[in-house]
């Protein structure tokens, strides 16, 4: 029966996608200030060290953060039942930053893991409030949701800025609010594997998340434990966002562009589209990081800044290019 | 059997359902009719546990709807609410396939695929199977949603104004399908209808509601009477037998 498998992009596309991601990964491994080529890698022990301590961790961090942020966006859009929200703008990331700020003040010597835990809790609280308020908005006005998200995210962000200013921690806040990978070394990115595991968890529960997107009545009617799936989604969004903010900083637009791009072509049956969304996010962040390394070589431009430009352009293109299927 | 006893519902201070008691035997098509705001959709939501029960008791096939696990209920009873606002970009076949979720937890078995294909065929959707639902017309989308509800394969099927957006052909097809489900497969169908003549033509029983109460309930021929209809809907109408069918002339 082919009818029910039509949503699956075929094997050729899948192979092409993987090849593209692999090419970007290789490029990322060999692009940077320190000269590194596949030839010297095995002859020069210093080159191998550079690879293992810096390039490989940085590349893995970009892949993990990109895929996880794309999935966080996808799940958040499912929870809010609106295609135009993402954690980076709708308060989740700002709440996480506020949480790190608090833990930095109260427990300055806290290990990174604890900072991530507190940031996750703060993100969970901030996102719960956002969703509770969003569900009170009139469903006939879908554009109120992203607008409200931007206002809400700005208010939380402003609170964080004000607190940082009073506490003289503005330069620290800058680190968490501007996503960049230049500081990533071995031992400084491993928390992102948890974000990667959460992506796997999202895939595992993809059918439930898809049903969640059909709304509460349809979900309950189909026997979905609606509240439990909602909570699971909240945890995925909050933890992924908080982990990336702690390790890399806020990276905008990934959570918005990757799910919308894939939805346009392959729909929203998450079992089939989720790997594509994750791959698109990874490719987007990795290519923007490479661009940031090259554009004024040997200096670097933070990936958050590059994505601010590239992501905005992509998003506008998505809005204005007419849908191929009418 | 659907057993409703002493169910009241208050929303925002106003009484929506007022001590409703009703017993629907297993099997057959029951039409739920009544003017706007009579409480039909609210009653359906309570039966389908989409709303928490405030007072009283409802059982479906002996299962109390407020305490039975929702997944277990989903194998017994399917509900399609009026305008569920499904906005996801799913293909028709994928949407209909999710009707099998209570049985398979998400992974379609060969048997599920067969049921999905049959249901698509039954609702004239095979040609639209790979279309995204956000590219369909209102009537096509409505058919896809009804198909998903049927695909759940439950003994009890609750539909809230399923004829919305359907053209005459597909409205007739759907009502005939409901009859086949009841007659050929022993299903129990409870359907909210606005067109009294659809109720007169296809239902075994009619439950008429007004102001949050059951105004009348019984065999179709016992309800399709000018005095009862006037009491429920608030204006006089003629009832004639045309070509052997009870027909309500409410247009004049």
Establish how many alpha carbons lie within 13 A of residue A228's alpha carbon, considering only the half-sphere containing its beta carbon.
8
On the question of pLDDT at B244 being above 90, the answer is: no
CATH number of the domain to which A122 belongs: 1.10.3470.10
* pLDDT tier for residue B202 given thresholds of 50, 70 and 90: very high
On the question of pLDDT at A9 being above 70, the answer is: no
Over residues B119-134, the mean pLDDT reads: 93
**Contacts B132 to A, Cβ<8 Å:** 267, 325
Query: What percent of chain B lies above the pLDDT cut of 90?
Result: 85
**Contacts B86 to A, Cβ<8 Å:** 214-215, 218
- Residue A9 domain flag: no
Specify the number of domains making up chain A: 1
Establish how many alpha carbons lie within 13 A of residue A234's alpha carbon, considering only the half-sphere containing its beta carbon.
18
Contact A214 B84 (CB under 8 A): yes
Q: Which residue from A298, A236, A247 is spatially nearest to A270, judged by alpha carbons? A: A236
Q: What is the pLDDT of residue A286?
A: 96
Tokens of B194: 């606005």
Distance from CA of B94 to the nearest CA of A (A): 6
* pLDDT tier for residue A1 given thresholds of 50, 70 and 90: very low
On the question of pLDDT at A326 being above 70, the answer is: no
Please give the Cα distance from A8 to A112 (Å, whole number): 39
Contact A224 B101 (CB under 8 A): yes
- Residue A3 domain flag: no
- Residue A11 domain flag: no
- Residue A226 domain flag: yes
Q: Is A86 helix (H, G, I), strand (E, B) or coil?
A: coil
pLDDT tens track for A163-195? 999 988 888 888 888 888 988 888 889 999 999
Angle between helices A92-106 and A226-247 (to 10 degrees): 60
H/E stretch holding B20 reads: strand B14-24
- Residue A26 domain flag: no
* pLDDT tier for residue A323 given thresholds of 50, 70 and 90: low
pLDDT tens track for A57-84? 999 999 999 999 999 999 999 998 888 9
* pLDDT tier for residue A10 given thresholds of 50, 70 and 90: confident
On the question of pLDDT at B45 being above 50, the answer is: yes
Contact A269 B90 (CB under 8 A): yes
**Contacts A206 to B, Cβ<8 Å:** 106
On the question of pLDDT at A224 being above 80, the answer is: yes
Complex ipTM: 0.91
Who among A139, A214, A325 is closest to B88 (CB)? A214
Who among B74, B89, B93 is closest to A222 (CB)? B74
Task: Please state the pTM of the whole predicted model.
Answer: 0.91
Q: Domains in chain B, start-ordered, CATH in brackets?
A: 2-76+154-249 (3.40.50.300), 85-153 (no CATH)
- Residue A21 domain flag: no
Q: What is the pLDDT of residue A41?
A: 80
- Residue A284 domain flag: yes
Please give the Cα distance from A47 to A41 (Å, whole number): 5
- Residue A24 domain flag: no
On the question of pLDDT at A280 being above 70, the answer is: yes
Contact A3 B93 (CB under 8 A): yes
Over residues A24-52, the mean pLDDT reads: 85
**Whole domain around residue A106: which residue ranges?**
55-316
pLDDT tens track for B130-147? 999 989 988 899 999 999
Over residues A87-104, the mean pLDDT reads: 92
The mean predicted confidence, pLDDT, of chain A is 90
């Amino acid at each position: 029966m082919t009818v029910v498998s039509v949503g699956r992009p075929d094997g050729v596309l899948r192979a092409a996608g993987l090849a593209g991601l692999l090419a970007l990964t290789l490029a990322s491994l060999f692009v940077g200030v320190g000269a590194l080529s596949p030839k010297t890698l095995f002859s020069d022990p210093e080159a191998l060290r550079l690879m293992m301590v810096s390039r490989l961790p940085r590349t893995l961090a970009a892949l993990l953060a990109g895929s996880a942020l794309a999935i966080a966006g996808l799940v958040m859009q499912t929870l809010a039942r609106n295609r135009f929200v993402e954690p980076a703008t709708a308060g989740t990331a700002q709440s996480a930053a506020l949480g790190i700020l608090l833990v930095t003040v109260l427990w300055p010597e806290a290990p990174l893991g604890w900072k991530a835990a507190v940031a996750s809790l703060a993100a969970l609280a901030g996102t719960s409030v956002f969703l509770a308020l969003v569900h009170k908005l009139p469903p006939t006005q879908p554009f109120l949701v992203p607008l409200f998200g931007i206002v809400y995210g700005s208010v939380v962000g402003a609170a964080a800025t004000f607190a940082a200013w009073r506490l003289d921690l503005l330069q620290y806040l800058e680190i968490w609010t501007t996503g960049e990978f230049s500081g990533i070394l071995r031992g400084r990115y491993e928390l992102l594997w948890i974000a990667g595991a959460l992506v796997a968890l999202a895939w595992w529960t993809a059918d439930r998340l898809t049903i969640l997107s059909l709304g509460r009545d349809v979900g309950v009617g189909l026997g979905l434990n609606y509240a439990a799936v909602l909570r699971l989604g909240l945890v995925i969004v909050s933890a992924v966002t908080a982990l990336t903010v702690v390790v890399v900083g806020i990276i905008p637009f990934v959570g918005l562009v990757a799910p919308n791009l894939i939805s346009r072509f392959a729909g929203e049956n998450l079992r089939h589209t989720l790997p594509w969304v994750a791959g698109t996010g990874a490719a987007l962040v990795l290519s923007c990081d490479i661009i940031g390394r090259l554009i004024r070589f040997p200096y670097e431009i933070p990936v958050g800044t590059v994505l601010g430009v590239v992501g905005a352009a992509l998003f506008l293109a998505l809005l204005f290019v007419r849908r191929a299927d009418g | 059997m659907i057993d409703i006893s002493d169910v009241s519902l208050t929303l925002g201070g106003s009484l929506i359902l007022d001590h409703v008691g009703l017993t629907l035997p297993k099997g057959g098509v029951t039409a739920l009719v009544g003017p706007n705001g009579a409480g039909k959709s609210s009653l359906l939501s309570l039966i389908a546990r989409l709303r928490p029960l405030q007072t009283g008791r409802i059982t479906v096939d002996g299962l109390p709807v407020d305490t039975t696990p929702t997944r277990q209920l989903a194998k017994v009873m399917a509900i399609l609410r009026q305008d569920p606002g499904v906005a996801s970009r799913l293909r028709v076949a994928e949407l209909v396939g999710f009707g099998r979720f209570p049985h398979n937890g998400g992974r379609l078995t060969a048997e599920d695929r067969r049921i999905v294909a049959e249901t698509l065929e039954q609702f004239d959707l095979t040609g639209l199977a790979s279309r995204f639902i956000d590219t369909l017309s209102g009537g096509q989308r409505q058919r896809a949603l009804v198909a998903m509800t049927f695909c759940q394969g439950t003994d009890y099927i609750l539909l809230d104004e399923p004829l919305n957006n359907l053209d005459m052909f597909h409205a007739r097809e759907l009502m005939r399908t409901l009859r086949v489900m009841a007659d050929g497969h022993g299903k129990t169908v409870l359907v909210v209808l606005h067109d009294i003549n659809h109720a007169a033509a296809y239902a075994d029983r009619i439950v008429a509601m007004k102001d949050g109460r059951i105004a009348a309930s019984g065999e179709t021929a016992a309800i399709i009477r000018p005095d009862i209809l006037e009491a429920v809907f608030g204006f006089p109408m003629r009832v004639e037998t045309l070509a052997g069918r009870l027909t309500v002339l409410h247009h004049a």
